[in-house]
């Protein structure tokens, strides 16, 4: 467990370091057109990038030389009531649905995309009650849509229903 | 002055005024509890309605919306880990944990009562507008830089057990603030070729993503949690007098911080909430409880959030400088009725100012019963099962983030930062630090570069200007204080062992 944590910390720190290098390289190209501005638009991001790289190095050193805490080395007794069961299937499914929502929101419109999104989400999360599915699939988009569009004056994407709204 | 104050209360006790104030508080509380609808948006939506009202009623109504919004943003922060407004971002850290521990009523009650105390206390700033406005004038670019640097020391409070990861998170947040068009040169930075990135990352979708979407992802991915959440009984018990007494120190800190930060134009509710949280933790008898469900961790930011109102009105009324978008809407209401905010307002229309004073006190008192009713309504809504709550929240997030700029891109940003926030939490990084960096980043960079331009590139300007120097020295002391104390204790322990 302790080794696993160290490996994760080192990998994360290296990722942050590479990110810092990318930011620094990108910011190099931002020139200062104004002579009165002594630093230019690239200075600040470069400074932050250096900070990220520096702390990443400290993080690696901390992970390599940190003394393991007792709770990291002892294996904790497993308790069925509290054991976390990560479901990559559910996680991946939610990500897919979020992507679907972003890609279709403008094209299909809010009142088509959102019910499909909710339906997919509820089925993915194991909801089988027809009543709950129908109420939520129709109710949530209507309630939020009415609140934002009618009460707050926010124009939601119409998409395919644009002819209907005119 | 006493006569003006008494006349103010007398003017505000009309039937129509009271009805409008109640409506304003209710509207502000409900509106601000929707992610994407901030106080200024809720106020601006009502502004056309105030055209036909008497000026005092109009100002009191808008003040009601403002007061309601300050509290309303904290409700979803506590119930569903979703700050309803940027100012409630600091409330999430302990508020949501208290909710998960079943102490929902206590968290919401502390938020309501402490917010009311902060709001009422800060209103008295209006009586001190003239001397307080001198503070506003004393703040230039270097001073703002000093304050922002001091604000960054909060990162040590938000970092949890791993300071390095907290600092990296904060730097990442500062970097997010550096995206978009540069204020001085117009150079668009890190746009990745997208026109939507010309303005950079908007705070609302990033914040909603890091808090709300990441939490919903976590709940969806870990099924064992559902039984825990759905079988939990949410206690609606309000905090006891003893519990309210225990947060006195945090409330006082929140009030002072809120007023002082409010007086500085551009600092805003978010900065005051985070600074109040950090200071409350620093001075608390139980700092180890912060981040693990501390009532003080809710009291301080919520008090500061509300206390900003009074401070915000100081530059607006005295100098005609709006300290925030909400103060700008109040000024717009004044101008709609033919009055000009600024020094002459006290000379020619002093009664209007004192009517506003009375109105602001009354709406803060009204917030208690109205806020209580709204909370009861929300608690019924969130007692549904986890899958339904996840579906409801993600739909709300979609609409809320879209409404900020009518942009699907912002929805994408919220979802992207939801995934980033999910992994940040797993890897031990600090999403609140990212939000703090994003909030402070623009102030910090702009103030830093403007100060250097004004001083012809001399870095000594930050030391030569006394207010800036004081804040920078305080920041260094605050950062090194824990290490010094730790070293001193080890030395003492070593000496004791030796003897």
What would the pLDDT profile of B251-269 be if each residue is shown by its tens digit? 999 999 998 888 777 667 8
Nearest to B391 among A40, A140, A153 (CB): A140
0.90 surpassed by complex ipTM: no
Q: Quickly count: other Cβ atoms within 10 Å of residue B137's Cβ.
A: 11
Least confident among A81-85, B97-101, B409-413: A81-85
Coil, helix or strand for B194? Answer: coil
Burial of residue A82, with CB atoms counted within 10 A of its CB: 0-12 exposed, 13-18 middle, 19 or more buried: exposed
Q: Taking CB atoms and an 8 Å cutoff, what residues of chain B touch A121?
A: 387, 390-391, 394
Identify the band that residue A19 occupies on the pLDDT scale cut at 50, 70 and 90. Answer: very high
- Asked if B188 is an interface residue toward chain A (Cβ–Cβ < 8 A), one would say no
Nearest-CA distance B486 → chain A (Å): 18
d(CA B349, CA B416): 51
Task: Compute the radius of gyration of chain A from its Cα atoms.
Answer: 25
- Asked if B335 is an interface residue toward chain A (Cβ–Cβ < 8 A), one would say no
- The mean per-residue pLDDT over the stretch B229-255 comes to 80
Cβ within 8 Å, pair B184-A82: no
Quick: pLDDT tens for B107-153.
999 999 999 999 999 888 777 766 666 676 777 888 888 888 887 87
Identify the band that residue B297 occupies on the pLDDT scale cut at 50, 70 and 90. Answer: very high
Task: Identify the residue whose tokens are 């190099």.
Answer: A28
Average pLDDT, chain A: 83
Quick: pLDDT tens for B168-205.
999 999 999 999 988 888 888 998 888 888 888 988 88
**Beta carbons of B302 and B91 less than 8 angstroms apart:** yes
Which tokens is B303 given?
């008090």
Cβ within 8 Å, pair B182-A41: yes
pLDDT for residue B255: 92
Report percent pLDDT > 90 for chain B. 20
Task: Identify the residue whose tokens are 């917030």.
Answer: B367
**Beta carbons of B38 and B390 less than 8 angstroms apart:** no
Which tokens is B39 given?
């106080």
Cβ within 8 Å, pair B402-A157: yes
**Phi, psi of B428, rounded to the nearest 5 degrees:** 85, 15
- Asked if B386 is an interface residue toward chain A (Cβ–Cβ < 8 A), one would say yes
Q: Inform me whether the pLDDT recorded for B222 exceeds 70.
A: yes
Which tokens is A51 given?
């900070």
**Beta carbons of B168 and B437 less than 8 angstroms apart:** no
d(CA A78, CA A7): 23
- Asked if B264 is an interface residue toward chain A (Cβ–Cβ < 8 A), one would say no
- Asked if B402 is an interface residue toward chain A (Cβ–Cβ < 8 A), one would say yes
What are the angstrom distances between the C-alpha of B398 and each of A113, A156, B2, B280? 11, 10, 50, 34
Q: Taking CB atoms and an 8 Å cutoff, what residues of chain B touch A52?
A: 168, 171-172, 175
Nearest CA in chain B to A113: B395
Vertex B268: Cα angle to B341 and B244 (nearest 5): 110
Quick: pLDDT tens for A99-131.
999 999 989 999 999 999 999 999 998 888 899
Q: Quickly count: other Cβ atoms within 10 Å of residue B227's Cβ.
A: 11
Q: Taking CB atoms and an 8 Å cutoff, what residues of chain A touch B34?
A: 147-148, 152
**Beta carbons of B269 and B86 less than 8 angstroms apart:** yes
Cβ within 8 Å, pair B399-A102: no
Torsion sign across C-alpha atoms B153, B159, B163, B165: negative
Is B43 or A52 the better-scoring residue by pLDDT? A52
Q: Taking CB atoms and an 8 Å cutoff, what residues of chain B touch A140?
A: 391-392, 395
């Amino acid at each position: 467990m302790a080794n696993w944590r160290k490996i994760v910390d080192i990998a994360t720190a290296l990722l942050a370091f590479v990110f810092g290098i990318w930011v620094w390289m990108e910011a190099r190209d931002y020139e200062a057109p104004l002579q009165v501005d002594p630093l230019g638009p690239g200075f600040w991001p470069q400074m932050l990038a250096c900070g990220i790289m520096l702390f990443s190095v400290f993080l690696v050193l901390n992970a390599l030389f940190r003394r393991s805490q007792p709770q990291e080395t002892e294996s904790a007794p497993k308790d069925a009531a509290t054991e976390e069961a990560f479901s990559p299937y559910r996680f991946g499914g939610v990500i897919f649905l979020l992507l679907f929502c972003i890609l279709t929101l403008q094209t299909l419109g809010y009142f088509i995309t959102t019910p499909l999104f909710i339906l997919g989400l509820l089925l993915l999360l194991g909801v089988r009650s027809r009543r709950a599915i129908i109420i939520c699939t129709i109710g949530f988009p209507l309630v939020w849509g009415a609140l934002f569009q009618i009460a707050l004056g926010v124009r939601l994407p119409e998409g395919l229903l644009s002819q209907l709204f005119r | 002055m006493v006569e003006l104050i008494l006349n103010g209360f007398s003017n505000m006790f009309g039937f129509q005024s009271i009805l409008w104030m109640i409506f304003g508080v209710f509207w502000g509380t409900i509106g601000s509890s929707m992610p994407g609808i901030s106080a200024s948006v809720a106020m601006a939506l009502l502004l056309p309605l105030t055209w036909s009202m008497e000026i005092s009623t109009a100002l009191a109504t808008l003040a009601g919306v403002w007061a309601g919004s300050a509290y309303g943003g904290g409700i979803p922060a506590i119930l569903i880990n979703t700050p309803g407004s940027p100012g409630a971002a600091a409330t999430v850290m302990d508020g949501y944990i208290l909710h998960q521990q079943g102490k929902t009523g206590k968290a919401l009650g502390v938020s309501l009562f402490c917010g009311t105390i902060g709001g009422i206390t800060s209103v008295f700033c209006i009586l001190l507008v003239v001397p307080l406005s001198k503070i506003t004038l004393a703040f230039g670019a270097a001073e703002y830089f000093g304050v922002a640097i001091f604000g960054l020391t909060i990162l040590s409070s938000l970092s949890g057990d791993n300071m390095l990861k907290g600092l990296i998170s904060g730097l990442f947040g500062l970097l997010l603030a550096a995206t978009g068009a540069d204020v001085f040169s117009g150079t668009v930075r890190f746009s990745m070729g997208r026109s939507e990135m010309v303005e950079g990352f908007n705070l609302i979708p990033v914040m909603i993503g890091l808090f709300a979407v990441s939490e919903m992802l976590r709940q969806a991915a870990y099924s064992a949690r559902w039984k825990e959440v759905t079988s939990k009984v949410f206690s609606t018990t309000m905090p006891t007098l003893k519990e309210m007494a225990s947060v006195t120190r945090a409330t006082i800190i929140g009030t002072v911080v809120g007023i002082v930060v409010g007086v500085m134009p551009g600092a805003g509710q978010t900065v005051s909430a985070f600074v109040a949280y950090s200071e409350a933790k620093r001075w608390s008898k139980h700092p180890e409880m912060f981040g693990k469900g501390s009532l003080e961790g809710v009291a301080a930011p919520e008090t500061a959030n509300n206390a900003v109102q009074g401070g915000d009105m100081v530059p607006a009324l005295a100098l005609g400088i709006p300290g925030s978008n909400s103060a700008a809407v109040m000024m717009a209401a004044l101008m709609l009725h033919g009055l000009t905010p600024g020094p002459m307002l006290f000379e020619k229309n002093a009664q209007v100012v004192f009517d506003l004073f009375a109105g602001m006190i009354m709406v803060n008192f009204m917030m208690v019963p109205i806020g209580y009713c709204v909370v009861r309504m929300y608690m019924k809504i969130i007692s549904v099962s986890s899958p339904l709550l996840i579906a409801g929240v993600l739909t709300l997030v979609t609409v809320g983030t879209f409404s900020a700029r009518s942009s699907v891109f912002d929805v994408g940003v919220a979802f992207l930062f939801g995934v980033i926030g999910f992994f940040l939490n797993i890897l031990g990084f600090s999403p609140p630090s990212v939000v703090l960096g994003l909030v402070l980043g623009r102030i910090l960079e702009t103030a830093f570069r403007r100060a250097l331009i004004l001083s012809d590139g001399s870095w000594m300007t930050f030391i030569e200007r006394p207010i800036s120097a004081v804040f920078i020295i305080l920041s260094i002391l605050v950062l090194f204080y824990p290490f010094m104390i730790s070293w001193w204790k080890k030395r003492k322990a070593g000496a004791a062992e030796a003897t």
